[in-house]
Amino acid sequence: MAASSVVSEPVVKAGEAAGSAAAFGTNRLLLLWSTVIGKKIVMAVTGVIMVAFVIAHMLGNLKIFAGPKEINTYSRFLREVGMPELGYGDALWIVRLVLITAVTLHIIAAVTLTRVSWQARPIGYRERKDLETSFAARWMRWGGVILAVFIVFHILHFTLGMVGFQPGQFRELHVYSNVVAGFSVWPVSAFYILAMLALFSHLDHGIWSMLQTLGWSTARNQATLRLASRLIAGVVFAGFVSVPVAVLAGWIQ
């Protein structure tokens, strides 16, 4: 529907506009998704999934400081977990599918809502000052774009070994040597650290934001939740960045 052709009836009565019933059917999830708030809620819920993953991923990465045997065993464990009931790598693929779904929904909702917002103020202000918002909040959209690009690169790099390695340098399941070789290329480490800065910013606003969207943030606990959000973001950032820093500094080789 073209935006300009939308005309509001002066009085709206539920049940009168049959057109929308056809659009939604009776599916409650689709009805929720069709509203701007529903998409925000989807972003919050998929955000929870991704934050949980990111924390687990960061903790797993720290195993590199325990030596090659420890982290290589861990990477094999991730593929063998659930055996013999599950096949080799099945559990990992279940997690991957959940994450791919979460990322996809998160991005679709973000793009749709961004378009709604950009269309909502066609003529901008000559001057408008911010009182309350933060750098993190203003950088959510572009930080998200940086993260999306990074995730694609990161999978091609450390998961598939298709970019960033000399031929024959990347060896499946030899995580320790792969990480050391990968991060020894300084532009790769620099991009990784930049992406982690974007992640810090995204989580700083994002973790509190999902609590706010889901209605857990109140006038009373808001300051505490914002601080907790920043702390989690900081710990995740420090955990991830410690690896390339350690490689570049020669602490692990």
Interacting residues toward other proteins by CB under 8 A: 1, 3, 6, 8-21, 23-24, 26, 28, 31-32, 34-41, 112-114, 116-133, 137-138, 140, 205, 208-209, 212-219, 222
Handedness of CA 55, 192, 43, 156 (dihedral sign): negative
Return the number of the residue (119 or 166) whose C-beta is nearest other proteins.
119
Q: How far is residue 168's CA from residue 178's CA, in Å, rounded to a whole number?
A: 11
| Closer residue to other proteins (CB): 23 or 173 | 23
- The minimum distance between CB 13 and other proteins, in angstroms, equals 6
Tokens at residue 96, please? 């991957």
Rounded-to-integer distance, Cα 238 and Cα 226, Å: 18
What gap in Å lies between CA 235 and CA 167, rounded to an integer? 35
Answer for the pair 216, 224: CB distance below 8 angstroms, yes or no: no
CB closer to other proteins, 135 vs 251:
135
The verdict on whether omega for the bond into residue 167 sits within 30 degrees of 0, i.e. cis, is: no
Rounded-to-integer distance, Cα 171 and Cα 180, Å? 12
> What's the token pair of residue 133?
């918002």
Judged by beta carbon, residue 104 or residue 221, the one nearer other proteins is 221
183 and 61 in contact (C-beta within 8 Å)? no
Question: Closest separation between CB of residue 127 and other proteins, Å?
Answer: 4
> What's the rounded Cα separation, in Å, for the pair 231 and 212?
17
Kindly tell me which of 133 and 166 has the beta carbon lying closer to other proteins. 133
Q: In angstroms, give the least distance from the CB of 82 to other proteins.
A: 33
Smallest gap from residue 217 Cβ to other proteins (A): 6
- Least CB distance from residue 105 to other proteins, whole Å? 15
C-beta of 102: minimal distance to other proteins in Å?
18
Coil/strand/helix, residue 26? coil
Q: Which of 211/236 has CB closer to other proteins?
A: 211
